[in-house]
Structure 1
Amino acid sequence: MPDIAIRTIGVIGAGVMGSEVAQVFAQSGFEVVLVDVTDEALERARKTVERNLRFQRMLGSRRGLAEPPTADRGEVLSRIRFTTDLADVSAADFVVENITEDWDLKRPAYEELDRVCKPHVVFAVNTSCIPITRVGGVTQRPDKIVGAHFMNPVSLKPMVEVIRGFHTSDETVQTMLDLLAEIGKEGVVVADSPGFVSNRVLMLTVNEAAYLVHEHVADATQVDRIFKGCFGHAMGPLETADLIGLDTILLSIEGLYEAFGDSKYRPCPLLKQLVDAGLHGRKSGRGFHVYQ
Structure 2
Amino acid sequence: MSPGTLYIVPTPIGNLGDITLRAIETLKQVDVIAAEDTRHSGVLLQHLGVQTRMWAVHEHNEREKAQGLIEQLRSGKSIALISDAGTPLISDPGYPLVNACRAAGVPVVALPGACAAITALSAAGLPTDRFLFAGFLPPKQQARLTALQKLAAETATLVFYEAPRRIVESLTAMQSVFGPERQVVMARELTKQFETYLSGTVSEVLAQVERDPNQQRGEIVLMVAGAPSQSDEIPVAALQLLQLLSAELPPKKAAKLVASHYNLRANELYQHALK
| Normalised TM-score (structure 1) | 0.28
Q: Which has the higher contact order (CA 8 A, sep 6+)?
A: 2
Return the index of the structure with the highest Cα Rg: 2
**Greater share of helix:** 1
TM-score by length of 2: 0.29
